[in-house]
Chain A
Amino acid sequence: MKYLGLIWKNVWRKKIRTSLTILSVLVAFLLFALLSAIAYAFKAGEDVADAERLIVIDKVSLINMLPIAYQNRIASTPGVQSVTHATWFGGYYQDQRNQFPQFPIDPYAYFSMYPELQISEQQLAAFAKNRTGAVIGREIAEQFNLKVGDRIPIQATIWTKEDGGRTWEFDIEGIISSNDPRGSSAYLLFQHDYFEEARRFAKGTVGWYILRVEKGANPAEVANAVDKQFQNSANETKTSTEAAFSQSFAKQFGNIGLIVQLIMGAVFFTLLLVAGNTMAQSVRERISELAVLKTLGFEDRSVLGIVLSESILIMLIGGLLGIGLGKLIIGIVAPSMGAFLPGLYLRPESIMLAIGIMFVAGIAAGIFPAFKAMRLSIVDALAHA
Chain B
Amino acid sequence: MNDTLAELTSVSRSYQKGKERVEVLHELDLGIPAGDFLAIMGPSGSGKTTLLNLLGGLDKPSAGTVRVGDAVLSDMSNSQLSRWRATHVGFIFQFYNLLPILNAQKNVELPLLLTSFNRAERAKRAAIALDIVGLKERAKHYPRELSGGQEQRVAIARAIVSDPTLLLCDEPTGDLDRSTADEILRLLQILNSEHGKTIVMVTHDAQAADYAKRTLHCDKGKLERREQA
The residues of A with any CB-CB pair to B shorter than 8 Å are: 2-3, 5-6, 9-10, 12-13, 288-289, 292-300, 378-379, 382-383, 385
Contact = CB atoms under 8 A, between A and B. Distances in A.
B82 A299 contact: yes
Interface in B72-122: 78-79, 82-87, 91, 93, 95, 97, 99, 101-102, 106, 110-111, 113-114
B53 A379 contact: yes
B99 A382 contact: no
Given A2-B113, A6-B113, A292 B97 contact: yes
A299 B79 contact: yes
A295 B82 CA distance: 7
B91 A296 contact: yes
A44 to B, nearest CB: 48
A298 B106 contact: no
B7 interface: no
Contact of A382 (B93, B111, B114): B93
A379 B113 contact: no
A273 to B, nearest CB: 26
A300 B59 contact: no
Contact of A13 (B49, B82, B83, B101): B101
Chain B CB within 10 Å — which of A2, A3, A13, A288 has the most?
A2
Contact of A297 (B53, B87, B93): B87
B206 interface: no
Contacts of A3: 113
Contact of B102 (A2, A9, A295, A379): A9
Contacts of A293: 110
B173 to A, nearest CB: 17
Contact of B82 (A10, A12, A300, A383): A300
B228 to A, nearest CB: 29
A interface majority secondary structure: helix
A385 B171 CA distance: 14
Contacts of B86: 296-298
Size class of the contact patch on chain B = 20 to 34
Nearest to A300: B78
B22 interface: no
Given A297-B111, A378-B58, A289 B83 contact: no
B58 A379 contact: yes
B101 A297 contact: no
B101 A9 contact: yes
Nearest to A291: B97
A231 to B, nearest CB: 76
Contacts of A296: 85-86, 91, 110-111, 114, 158
Contacts of A382: 58, 93, 97
B97 A288 contact: yes
Contacts of A300: 78-79, 82
A295 B85 contact: yes
Nearest to A2: B113
19 contacts: A13-B101, A289-B97, A292-B93, A295-B85, A296-B111, A296-B158, A297-B83, A297-B85, A297-B86, A298-B82, A298-B86, A299-B82, A300-B78, A300-B79, A300-B82, A379-B53, A379-B59, A382-B93, A385-B97
B101 A385 contact: no
Contacts of A9: 101-102, 106
A385 B91 contact: no
A76 B93 CA distance: 93
A4 B196 CA distance: 34
A13 B142 CA distance: 13
Nearest to B103: A9
A292 B106 contact: no
A221 B2 CA distance: 96
B113 A295 contact: no
Contacts of A12: 101
Contacts of A6: 102, 110, 113
A272 B111 CA distance: 33
Contacts of A13: 101
Nearest to B158: A296
B106 A289 contact: no
A289 B99 contact: yes
Given A295-B58, A379-B59, 4 more contacts: A289-B97, A295-B85, A296-B85, A297-B83
